[in-house]
Amino acid sequence: MKNFKFTLTVFAAALAAALAGCSEEKKPPPAPAVQAPPPPPPSIEIKIGHVGPMTGGIAHLGKDNENGARLAVEEANAAKIKIDGKDAKFTLVGEDDQADPKVGTTVAQKLVDAKVAGVVGHLNSGTSIPASTIYNQANLPVISGSATNPKLTEQGFKNQFRVVGRDDQQGPAIASYLAATAKPKTVAIIDDATAYGEGLANEVEKTLKGANIKVLAREKGTDKTTDWKAILTKVKGRKPDAIFYGGMDATGGPLIKQGRELGIKAVFSFGDGACTDEMTKLAGDAAEGLLCSQAGIPVAAADKKFLENYKKKFNADPILYSPFTYDATNLLIEAIKKANSPDPAKYLPELTKLEYKGATGAISFDEKGDRRDAEMTIFTMKGGKIEPVAVIKGGKTIPIADFIAAMAPPAPAAAAPAPAAPAAEPGKEAPKAEAPKADAMKK
């Protein structure tokens, strides 16, 4: 009996041990320790300001300019640029100056306080010039893609640039073309009393007088004038052969429309502010045949890739100066890359010496901050569309077709023909061509 109890005890112990072993075998393995995700790579936000009229009569031009800047910023972010070893995120900070000088200075200070790295703008000379003083005090680089008044870069500021030509280049260009093609004996000049409109009109007048063309006493409106009948009635009585208006399309459209309604037969001509398809919307058929100028190459001659990307992004074609604000933004970004820093004090020296191939051609700056060798384009209104007819560069007038052909990238060189096999000697076979070597096949 004792042996039986002993045996039973041993069996129970063995059974318990076996069950315990099974239990241990079935226990799930411990879950692996959760590792913290790796820290994100260091990054840096770089703010670039843009200023233009986003409301009011020329808001369409302000938006066009902003679109050019926005496209450049988005492309830079897609390129995943590193600055000082950090992932750079470029942010466009847009402001509306309403084409008003007082508002322009207010938003300029706002951008300085926001610590933007640089500014693209303003659109108008009338806002650019007063705002430039604020940017200069902050040593903040500014590039305008459309302000043309010479005073902007004549103030001695080392931080102010532009990628378009000046009115003392544009004025002589449109005036000389008008004189050569229309051959007027008497010209009436009207301006909108802004820094841009009056400044451009002054340059046109100077050139016409230099060509011994009679210029009537100046007439003036404002950048808000849409009823020109009194001024035009006065002008009509003096029987000018041509009329030049210094101002924007919002006021230039009503001017030419009312001029034709009054029976004025003169050739109407304008500067870049009224050199847009908007003139047809404002003036209808009265705009047909007008002449106008732009301080730069025509949109149609801009880089093809830019034009395609702009259309894809905004579902519209560029209007006027967006290729230039696109280049202005890329110039700021390129200088920041070269300096490896968004600090204006560090990248400004790089900006002054850049030689950059942009959507509007080769860009470099002179000691004043003006674009070297800026082109001027002459347009006419044909079939309701502004069409370029000539480009003036270095005082030479180039037909538009020739200029666009010269701007196009060269066609790839044709492959050289394979050398002919040497002729066989009489009575011998011609040598067989060798198969290409493996290394050559890989290239």
Q: Which of 95-99, 131-135, 317-321, 333-337 has the lowest mean pLDDT?
A: 317-321
Question: Are 253 and 327 contained in the same domain?
Answer: no
Check whether 407 has a pLDDT greater than 90: no
Residue 26 pLDDT: 52
Confidence category of residue 437, pLDDT binned at 50, 70, 90: very low
3-state secondary structure (DSSP) of residue 393: strand
Say which CATH number the domain at 212 has.
3.40.50.2300
User: Does residue 257 lie within any of the structural domains?
Assistant: yes
- Does pLDDT of 314 surpass 90? yes
Residue 430 in domain: no
More confident residue, 361 or 35: 361
| 271, 350: one domain | no
CB-CB contact of 229 with 219 (8 Å) = no
Domain assignment present for 110: yes
Are both 47 and 105 inside the same structural domain? yes
Name the domain boundary from 294, 310, 345: 294
Is 152 found in the same domain as 69? yes
What H or E segment, with its residue span, contains residue 160?
Answer: strand 160-162
pLDDT at 37: 73
Whole-number percent of the chain with pLDDT over 90: 77
Q: In terms of domains, do 215 and 270 share one? A: yes
Domain membership flag for residue 308 = yes
Tell me: do 154 and 188 sit in the same domain.
Answer: no
pLDDT for res 393: 86
Reading the block at residue 121, the tokens are 């703008």
**To the nearest whole number, what is the mean pLDDT of the chain?**
88
pLDDT of residue 411: 61
Look at residue 432 and tell me if it is in a domain: no
Question: Given the structure tokens 């031009």, which residue do they identify?
Answer: 61
Give the end of a domain, one of 294, 321, 343. Answer: 294
In the predicted structure, residue 221 carries a pLDDT above the cut 90: yes
Q: What is the pLDDT of residues 269-292, one digit of tens each?
A: 999 999 999 999 999 999 999 999
Q: Which residue, of 348, 373, 398, is where some domain finishes?
A: 373
The backbone region for 60, taken as left when phi is positive above 0, alpha when psi lies in -120 to 50, beta otherwise, is alpha
pLDDT in tens, 243-257: 999 999 999 999 999
pTM for this structure? Answer: 0.78
**Do 48 and 151 share a domain, yes or no?**
yes
103 and 143 fall within a common domain: yes
Is 33 within a domain?
no
Q: Give the strand order in the sheet containing 43-52.
A: 82-83, 86-96, 43-52, 118-120, 142-144, 160-162
Looking at the predicted structure, is the pLDDT value of residue 214 above 90?
yes
pLDDT at 409 (0 to 100): 66
| Full residue range of the structural domain in which residue 178 is found | 168-294
Reading the block at residue 26, the tokens are 């079935």
The tally of domains found in the chain comes to 2
Mean pLDDT of the 36-47 span: 82
The burial of 368, by beta-carbon neighbours within 10 Å (0-12 exposed, 13-18 middle, 19 or more buried), is given as middle
Ramachandran sector of residue 84 (left: φ over 0; alpha: ψ -120 to 50; beta: rest) = left
pLDDT digits (tens, 9 = 90+) for 131-183: 999 999 999 999 999 999 999 999 999 999 999 999 999 999 999 999 999 99
